[in-house]
A = this chain, B = another copy of it.
Amino acid sequence: MKGNVHLYTGNGKGKTTAAIGLAIRAAGAGMKVFIAQFIKGRHYNELSALEKFEGQIVIKQYGRDCFIKNEPEEADRMAARRGFDEVEKIVMEGAYDMVVLDEINIALYYELVDISEVAMMIKKRPEHVELVLTGRYAPQSLIDLSDLVTNMDEIKHYYHNGIEARPGIEY
């Protein structure tokens, strides 16, 4: 079965949650899934939940969760660099049927990872590997390389009403 490239972008809520949902569905069908979270480096509640899928879903973080409102530092670059090298190897080996690169678009936007390397990985991957890319600010070249692209558009968000991120809902 040929794998496709999914891209979930836009400023609305639902990108990472959709990727988690895809991972769960794939696991339900007996597929093996690797989830790489770029930028993020904090304990999210999905991590606890995904522990139930030990041996089927592996999740790893390659970020420090702290630069988003500032400029990335050298440590952020190194974390993303190490992350991409690891994920690229995992994709190429083909042992996982689905590989999620969560927030890869943010890593690209801040130039922590190079678009030409991501493009190369997409093109050269084993044919059966399904890729799921997320994050706002997807570059046009990545849209061109993807088979399925959904733009999650924020129509309304309760953040604007002063409601803060809540455990179990946002993380």
Q: Which of A49-57, A65-73, A79-87 contacts B (4 or more CB under 8 A)?
A: A49-57
Whether A17 lies near B22 (C-beta < 8 A) is yes
Given contacts A146-B156, A147-B161, A158-B147, contact A168 B14 (CB under 8 A): no
Complex copy number for this chain? 2
Whether B21 lies near A24 (C-beta < 8 A) is yes
CB within 8 A of A19: which of B1, B21, B45?
Answer: B21
Q: Which of A28-36, A88-96, A116-124 contacts B (4 or more CB under 8 A)?
A: A28-36
* Residues in B whose Cβ lies below 8 Å from that of A52: 52-53
CB proximity to B under 8 Å, residues A1-46 = 1-2, 4, 6, 8, 10, 12-22, 24-31, 44-46
28 A-B contacts, Cβ less than 8 Å apart? A1-B166, A2-B163, A10-B153, A12-B150, A12-B152, A13-B18, A13-B150, A14-B18, A14-B152, A16-B21, A17-B22, A20-B24, A20-B25, A26-B45, A27-B49, A28-B45, A28-B46, A28-B49, A28-B50, A28-B168, A29-B45, A29-B48, A30-B168, A143-B155, A149-B156, A150-B153, A150-B154, A152-B153
